[in-house]
Amino acid sequence: MCGLGYVGLPVAVAFARRYDVIGFDVDRRRIEHLKKGEDWTGEIESDVLRASTMRFTDNAADLADCNFFVVAVPTPVDEKCIPDFSLLVSACRTIGPVLRPGSIVVFESTVHPGATEEICGPELEKASGLRCGVDFKLGYSPERINPGDREHPLERIVKIVSGQDDESADIIAEVYGGIIDAGVHRASSIKVAEAAKVLENTQRDINIALMNEMSKICDLAGISTTEVLEAAGTKWNFLRFTPGLVGGHCIGVDPYYLTSKAQEMGYHPEVILAGRRINDGMAQHVAAKIVQMLARKHRLAGSTRVGILGMTFKENVPDIRNSKVVDLYRALQQYGIAPLAFDPMADKAQMEHEYGISLVDKSHFDNLDVVVLAVPHRDIMATIWQDLPHMLTDGALLCDLKSSLDKTRLPASVQYWAL
């Protein structure tokens, strides 16, 4: 198993219950922690990790006896939203030297249709000296893990599998079938499997963009988006999406892999990119709304105190990659506001290193003019009603971005706003 992050580790642990597995990651610190039974992603419990028969290593030479490789490394975009395949290419160059005839390499990373055969295959050939499709075979089985979701673990989610030919597809289906209780869906080709994965997240992105646009319209109309969604949701075929900041390493990134490939083939996608523009602009929209509401109450000044609860990209996970709450933090700074940020799950050193943001203890959240409940982690919500009275000054603004609170419980003096 190559890559032991949010996706790779749960897959590797599941495989290790049935097969002989070596877990590889280039991050030595990560390997050291896993050997101690410590998973900073929070996806695998310590007792489960310690009980696993998997061997952990950061030495690629230890993979020499393997003949079935699974690659689960991130596929991000750069600052111009152009797909960045560098980590995938690096993984191929790491695996190549230990490939042997008869090996199968399965990729789980989200890519555009064709990437596995057009990018990964040639890189593996160069690094191994073997012929792709002859000496070794390719496969693709897109990840479907939802970090922090305990109701839909790996084993209960149907797994899409595909191979370079019927023989490799049969083997891949059998291997994954041994760990997936929900069964496998065999795609007709690697390209179909790749397209299916990128479509899944693109669909979610577009639907959330629609909700975000609707929330702006509802705000202008002076009505509650939540109430509108509750009413619309009484129809059997209404799709239940909600507005919010769309970050992370999947929904906010994967559509760009599809649009980039489409443009390469001469087609300019309109709906997908429109959805991306809406979602990427939501942090600025929220910041502008906060400033507008403060100005109306004559509370906008150099001494205005704003606190943000939650900085990770979603609730109940410590992952800060592509967090749009960070964009909100910076947007507020552009208005001359110096926000306080608290998150019980995010790593303080990592937040400082990646974004230059210093997380503070919750004790610093007192007498604030604005509290933004951005990420409703379980730990935050467990004490929110005890914490709010001393967090909020009289007449303060409470921004509940995910409509997580019962606003009827708030004092009349508190301004409440939600997307």
3-class SS of residue 285: helix
> What type of residue is 341?
A
What Å distances lie between residue 95 and 27, 61, 129, CA to CA? 15, 9, 12
pLDDT at 297: 87
CA distance 313 to 317: 8
Q: 179-199 b/e with 16+ CB inside 10 Å = b? A: bbeeebebbebbbebbbbbbe
359 and 342 in contact (C-beta within 8 Å)?
A: yes
List the structure tokens of 217. 């319209």
3-class SS of residue 49: helix
321 and 313 in contact (C-beta within 8 Å)?
A: yes
108 and 145 in contact (C-beta within 8 Å)?
A: no
Q: Tell me the β-bridge partners of 186.
A: 161
**Overall residue count recorded for the chain in this entry:** 419
3-class SS of residue 419: coil
Q: Tell me the β-bridge partners of 162.
A: 140
Find the helix packing angle between 282-296 and 324-334, rounded to 10°.
40
pLDDT at 11: 97
CA distance 69 to 138: 10
CA distance 24 to 139: 19
pLDDT at 18: 96
Q: Round the average pLDDT of the chain to a whole number and report it.
A: 96
What is the β-pairing status of strands 136-140 and 159-163?
antiparallel
pLDDT under 70 in the chain at which residues? Answer: none
Q: 3-40 b/e with 16+ CB inside 10 Å = b? A: bbbbbbbbbbbbbbeeeebbbbbbeeebbebbeeeebe
Q: Which helix (H) or strand (E) holds 86?
A: helix 86-95
What is the β-pairing status of strands 184-186 and 159-163?
parallel
Residues known to be catalytic: 250
Q: Which residues contact 32 (CB under 8 A, 6 or more apart)?
A: none
List the domains of the chain with CATH numbers.
8-189 (3.40.50.720), 281-419 (3.40.50.720)
CA distance 391 to 368: 6
